[in-house]
Every structure is written in C-alpha cells, then in structure tokens.
Amino acid sequence: MNAQDLREHLGGTWTVRPDGWWRPMELDRLRSAAAGLKTGGARFVALTVRPDGASMKLAWHWDVAGTLLSLEAGLTPGAEIPSLVDIWPGVDWAEREARDYYAVNFSGRNDTPPLMLREGDAPGVLLRGKDVQ
Amino acid sequence: MSYRIPIGPYHIALDEPYKIEVECEGETVIGAFLKVGYNFRGIEWLAERKNITQSIALMERVCGICSNVHSMTFCLALERIGAIEVPPRAQHIRVLMAELERLHSHLLWAGVAAELIGFQTLFMTCFNLRERVMDLLESISGNRVNYSMNRIGGVNRDIQDSQAVREGVRAVRNAVATSLIPIFTTDRGVAGRCRGVGVLTRADALAYGAVGPVARASGIDQDLRRDAPYLIYDQLEFAVPIQSGGSVYDRIVVRALEILESCGIVEQVLDRLPEGRLHGGDIYTVPAGETVMRIEAPRGEVFYFVASDGTDTAARVKVRTPTFANIPTVVPMIRGAVLADIPLIQGSLDPCYSCTDR
C-alpha cells in the first residue's frame, strides 16, 4: 500500500505537516493500527516521547516510501502503553529507551530491561530537573 | 548441549564497546543477546540545557564518523521550524560535504572489512584512499573529523578550490572502480569469507526496521535522498544500488557502488555550484514549533525530532541514529552462522556504537 492507502485504511483524522502526516491515536487502537501498518508494508522508524505538562506525548513514526506517518498519543501519569514489540521486533529498543529516558511503562512485554542505563539504575533519566548538573 | 559465550564490551575487532552474548551449539550460533549503552553520554539531556548554537557543536559530536550529518540534520530541523531560507550555494556545499563524508565513511568501512576478512593489503589500499578524502575535507573545513560547517541558515565556510576537490574525487572514483571493486568482487578469499555469510532476509530487515546499506543489501529499495529529497538532491542524478542476497558480500557491493554514486554527486554539485551568500546572518532563536527531520547518512536514515518553545534552548531533541536501527539485526544475521564469522558479520553493519548510545 502507498501512504495514502494506509491513511485511509487506518482511518481517523490526519493532519499534513512539512514533516509528514500525523494522526491522534487512541491507545486501545494502537496495536491494531501497528498491525495494519505492518501488513501495508510500512517501516517502523522511531518512537518519540516528550513531556507535556504533567503528562507525556508519545509518537510512533513509520515510513512508507519516503512519507512519514506518525501516530500520536497522550499518556497520563502512571498509565501504561501497550507494547508493539510482538508485532514489530524493531520497536524493542525504542520502548526500552523510552523507559530509560522517561520512565514510560509498557504492558504486554515479558520485561523491559534497561537499554542505555545499567541494571538497577532508576528509569526516567531525562526527567531529571534542569538544575541537576 | 548449548553454551553461552560473552564477547565484549571490549572487542579485538571493534574499537567501540558493546557486548554480545552468543549462544552456541558446537560452533554454530543459535541465538544472541545484545547490550549497548557503554558510551551513553546523555546528549539529548544536554541538548535541552545548552542553547541551540552550542547544540550544533554538541550534535556534531554524536558520531565521530558522520559528524557533519548530525549538525546538518539539527540545523535543517531548526530551519524548517523557523521557515529559514538557506541560500542555494550553502545548500550545494552541504550536499558536497555530506557526500564527501559518505565517501570517507564507506572507505573506512571497506578498510575495516578488509582487515576482518584478513586482507591487509586491501585494508591499506582503502585507508590510503580514505586519507585522500580526509585531505579534501580538511582543505575545505580546516578539520578532519568535526568540520563545523553548519550553522542555522547556511554554512560557515566556502569551497575555496573546487578544482582540487574535483581532481581528488576523480582519483578516488578511478581507484575504487579499477582496484577496490574488482578485488572485492572477484577475489576468492573475499568471496569465501563473505558470500552467503550473515544473511539478513528482506522480511527480517523490514521487521527490525533496518536502514541504509544494510537494508538495501537485503532488497529494500529505500533512500531518503531520492524518496524524500532535502537540500538539492531532487535536482541531482544518482542511482540507488540494491542487492537482494542480504549477505556480507551484498553489503560490500552496495557500499562500493554507493562510493561511485557519491563521487558522481560531488562532481554534479561542483558543476552547478551557484554564486551567492553562505548564510543569511546570525540566528540564535527559532519560533515555537516542532518537526521531524530525516536525512540519509552514510549508515542510513538519521531521525531527529526537534521541539522549540521559542527560546534559545530546544525544548526537546530526539536523535535516532542509523546504527540504533541496525544493531538488532545482528541477531537474525548470526543465527546459524559459524562462531568465527561473528566479527565480520557484525562489522558488516558498519556499526557505530558511540552514536547509537549518544
């Protein structure tokens, strides 16, 4: 499928930006969307996390023949994100890094070992205050 | 009965730390577990605390090989957020630097591969050619590794002697076409070590999200310079070499052919280098906004997510390097391989652990 077909297949409201197409994603539909992207021939690119007040904004990015398709979801404190690792093996490191950097918890994984941090280090290293040197 | 061998984090074959625990039955690898993070420097954390001018230098230090790619991608993201125009001459110079960087990166890798194969003469030949490219980069920028060429809205330095660059690139192309490619593709020793070794199937490459030459050697036809062109790539003619075998040999062929394409791109840039400004003046802030910026680095797609809150410091900088995407493919590559082939197979990724760890 090309990018337009995939957008139509996934449904919802897409917004075009200079960097690609973005769509708000309900967390309970994330896994079915990821499976649809895999069936459609997309390539997983990256998972981005950024603080949004007390919450987090996460975006999963896929490439379809050079076009970026991004699914964005909000995460309230303490909530969990459904893991995509059983659908996309390439997501494994992205999820582990999201836990290292922002202490994001993923459900459906056997475990989420640290990627950049050492065993036993507290996750959420990028949440450390700006006064910390 | 299987047994597990821990290899690393210090390697004989690789200059950067990373750990692989290999599970074997006899001499056959049946599984592997990877551990990275030994070079974790918290660059994304630092980028939220330094102003964007300082962060250009910071980003250039994400990788010691493709340093220019990172400062350029960061600047391109800021320029997109701020709708900042980059003068045509500066865009040409950026492409020229990016392709010279690809040349030295691929030649470095070819040398490392030759050494891992056990072909010392070929190693010396590759590094001799790479030195020629390093000399060109130094003559343009004054630096051999961190070129400091990029600034928001343009470049810092001009091409002073385009004829010298042209002659240097022609010499590299001739040597690669007449020496390197014939040796790599016809030598029985090279073929014996590389053909059919470390195969990454197309399906695995897609599932793991492989990028760059690793993906292209597994039959995935992707290159952002063509598929999502930036700077002036849509005005240039070049081919995207693809191989379908997915082995170490296929990765060698893809990179060798890409060297020839990069030489052609450099010559096209020099042919059409327009007169004009290098930048539009000093810029210390960009308006609030966010964007993803992706470019095709020597090892594959570099991904930046940059968010600005309108101050002189970025609100968020996310960096996903090509090797971050490619290292996990080692697991399917070495499954079923002979233990002794592991250094060559993981070397065939052209891995950069420092930029992976950031």
Is residue B16 very low, low, confident or very high in pLDDT (cuts 50, 70, 90)?
Answer: confident
Mean pLDDT value of segment B293-298: 97
Residues of chain B neighbouring A88 (CB-CB closer than 8 A): 207, 209
CA–CA gap between residue B81 and residue B58 (Å, rounded): 19
pLDDT tens figures, B212-234 = 999 999 999 999 999 999 999 99
CA–CA gap between residue B340 and residue B14 (Å, rounded): 15
pLDDT at position B9 over 90: no
Is residue B260 very low, low, confident or very high in pLDDT (cuts 50, 70, 90)?
Answer: very high
- Given a contact cutoff of 8 angstroms between Cβ atoms, the answer to whether A75 and A57 are in contact is yes
Average pLDDT, chain B: 93
CA–CA gap between residue A99 and residue A76 (Å, rounded): 15
CA–CA gap between residue B296 and residue B155 (Å, rounded): 19
Mean pLDDT value of segment B277-286: 94
Q: Phi and psi of A50, rounded to 5°?
A: -150, 145
pLDDT (0 to 100) of residue A133: 42
Helix axes B162-175, B120-141, angle to 10 degrees: 170
- Given a contact cutoff of 8 angstroms between Cβ atoms, the answer to whether B348 and B218 are in contact is no
Tokens read off for B298: 């020597």
Asked if B309 reaches chain A (Cβ–Cβ under 8 Å), the answer is no
- Given a contact cutoff of 8 angstroms between Cβ atoms, the answer to whether A64 and A6 are in contact is yes
- Given a contact cutoff of 8 angstroms between Cβ atoms, the answer to whether B13 and B28 are in contact is no
pLDDT (0 to 100) of residue B80: 97
pLDDT (0 to 100) of residue B11: 74
Mean pLDDT value of segment B74-84: 97
Could you tell me the strand order of the sheet in which B314-320 lies? Answer: B289-297, B300-308, B314-320
Mean pLDDT value of segment B145-169: 94
First CA to last CA distance, chain B: 38
Å from A66 to nearest chain B CA?
5
CB atoms within 10 A of CB A108: 12
Per-residue pLDDT of chain A (133 residues; tens, 9 = 90+): 899 999 999 998 999 999 999 999 999 999 999 999 999 999 999 999 998 888 899 999 999 999 999 999 998 888 899 999 999 999 999 999 999 999 999 999 988 999 999 988 889 888 877 544 4
Mean pLDDT value of segment B311-334: 94
pLDDT at position B97 over 50: yes
CA–CA gap between residue A30 and residue A44 (Å, rounded): 14
Which among B2, B31, B29 has a CA at the least distance from the CA of B336? B29
pLDDT at position B256 over 80: yes
Cβ neighbours for A19, distance < 8 A, ≥ 6 positions apart? A68, B80, B291, B292, B293
Q: Which residues of A touch B (CB under 8 A)?
A: 17-20, 41, 43-46, 48-51, 59, 61, 63, 65-68, 70, 88-90, 92-94, 101, 114-118, 125-126, 128, 130
pLDDT (0 to 100) of residue B186: 86
ipTM comes to 0.93
Å from A87 to nearest chain B CA?
8
- Given a contact cutoff of 8 angstroms between Cβ atoms, the answer to whether A63 and B222 are in contact is yes
Å from B304 to nearest chain A CA?
9
pLDDT at position B12 over 70: no
Q: Phi and psi of A80, rounded to 5°?
A: -115, 155
Model pTM score: 0.93
Residues of chain B neighbouring A92 (CB-CB closer than 8 A): 328
pLDDT (0 to 100) of residue A132: 45
Cβ neighbours for B58, distance < 8 A, ≥ 6 positions apart? B43, B46, B47, B50
pLDDT (0 to 100) of residue B168: 93
Identity of the residue in A50, A116, A126 whose CB atom sits nearest the CB atom of B37? A116
CB contact under 8 A, A115 and B49: no
Percent of all residues in chain B with a pLDDT value above 90, rounded to a whole number: 75
- Given a contact cutoff of 8 angstroms between Cβ atoms, the answer to whether B219 and B246 are in contact is yes
Tokens read off for B266: 């450099």
Q: Phi and psi of B317, rounded to 5°?
A: -130, 115
In angstroms, the Cα distances linking A62 to A72, B174, B208, B316 are: 12, 39, 12, 20
pLDDT tens figures, B167-182 = 999 999 999 999 888 9
The alpha carbon of residue B89 and the mean position of all alpha carbons in its chain are separated, in whole angstroms, by 24
pLDDT (0 to 100) of residue B113: 85
Asked if B318 reaches chain A (Cβ–Cβ under 8 Å), the answer is yes
Helices assigned H by DSSP within chain B: 43-47, 52-60, 67-82, 88-117, 120-141, 162-175, 181-186, 188-194, 202-208, 212-216, 224-227, 248-272, 322-326, 330-334, 342-347, 353-357
The residue behind tokens 């039955």 is B25
